[in-house]
């Protein structure tokens, strides 16, 4: 069981996770990324909070995560009578692009939120996302700006956020072009000393 399997059961109980998904959904709408013809892939979907908010605005949505616990939570929601009818275009998939083959290509939009900083082999994952993107399609990344490691407190993660310029370079090396970024939101976390730390989250977009 990994840390996310353990966190999956109570993930949806945290208001900040819903707020983040809501804000990102709004920003994607504002950017004109969502449309009824779009085939969308969300990587690192967690319990599906973002995917399930935008599903009715797109043609098809495949949501993937490497945590069995997260995918189980999402699948349970998809099976529930109150969701089932409106979510026929949504599929939850267990997938780790660091190890697994990419899905078949043909996605107009690839989304990922607060996931890439957990990915060791970033370049391998970006290349597989590129393979899965349609020509003219867009890749949208919401993640932490570079920070000092305190966001995850004692836990160590592969990337303490990202320098947007360096991430844009990685995207261009994977094949994407026309990268652009903007501030998405600020997150607040208490330090072990009881102080409040601020962390900013960007939304970076790129085209294939
Ligand atoms: C901080 S959570 C964010 C979940 C969701 N996107 C959200 O914003 O609520 C990071 C997610 O990335 C997933 N993840 C981490 N490494 C991954 C990998 N290599 N492949 C796919 N998913 C991964 C975790 O299982 C977890 O669900």
Q: In this predicted model, what pLDDT tens digit does every residue of 187-201 receive, in sequence order?
A: 998 877 788 899 999
Q: Which residues contact 88 (CB under 8 A, 6 or more apart)?
A: none
Q: What percent of the chain has pLDDT over 90?
A: 88
* CATH label, 3-207, candidates 1.20.59.10, 3.40.50.460, 3.40.50.150, 3.40.50.12780: 3.40.50.150
Identify the pLDDT of residue 85.
81
Identify the pLDDT of residue 134.
97
Identify the pLDDT of residue 66.
98
Cβ of 5 below 6 Å from ligand 1: no
Q: In this predicted model, what pLDDT tens digit does every residue of 118-163 receive, in sequence order?
A: 999 999 999 999 999 999 999 999 999 999 999 998 889 999 999 9
Distance (angstroms) between ligand 1 centre and the Cα of 194 equals 27
Neighbours of 69 (CB within 10 A): 20
Instruction: State the DSSP string of 159-195.
Output: -SSB-HHHHHHHHHHHT-EEEEEEEEEEEEEE-TTSP
Identify the pLDDT of residue 58.
97
What residues does each domain of the chain span?
Answer: 3-207
DSSP 8-state class, residue 162: B
- Which residue out of 14, 20, 46, 153 has the highest number of ligand 1 atoms within 8 Å of its CB and is therefore the one to mutate? 46
Q: Dihedral of CA 16/22/24/26: which sign?
A: negative
Identify the pLDDT of residue 2.
87
Q: Strand 133-144 and strand 90-94: pairing? A: unpaired
Q: pTM of the entire structure?
A: 0.97
Structure tokens, 42? 């969300």
Distance (angstroms) between ligand 1 centre and the Cα of 117 equals 9
Mean predicted confidence (pLDDT) in 40-46? 98
């Amino acid at each position: 069981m990994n840390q996310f399997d353990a966190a999956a059961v109570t993930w949806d109980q945290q208001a900040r996770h819903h707020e983040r998904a809501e804000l990102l959904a709004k920003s994607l709408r504002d950017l004109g990324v969502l449309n009824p013809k779009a085939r969308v892939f969300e990587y690192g979907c967690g319990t599906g909070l973002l995917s399930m908010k935008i599903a009715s605005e797109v043609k098809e949505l495949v949501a993937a995560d490497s945590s069995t616990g997260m995918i189980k939570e999402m699948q349970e929601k998809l099976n529930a009578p109150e969701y089932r009818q409106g979510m026929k275009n949504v599929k939850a998939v267990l997938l780790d692009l660091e190890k697994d083959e990419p899905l078949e290509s043909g996605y107009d939009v690839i989304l990922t939120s607060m996931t890439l900083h957990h990915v060791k082999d970033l370049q391998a994952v970006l290349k597989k996302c590129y393979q899965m993107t349609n020509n003219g399609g867009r890749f949208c990344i919401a993640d932490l700006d570079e920070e000092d490691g305190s966001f995850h407190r004692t836990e160590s993660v592969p990337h303490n956020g990202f320098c947007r310029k360096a991430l844009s370079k990685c995207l261009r090396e994977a094949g994407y072009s026309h990268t652009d970024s903007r501030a998405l939101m600020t997150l607040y976390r208490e330090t072990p000393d009881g102080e409040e730390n601020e962390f900013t989250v960007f939304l970076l977009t790129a085209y294939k």
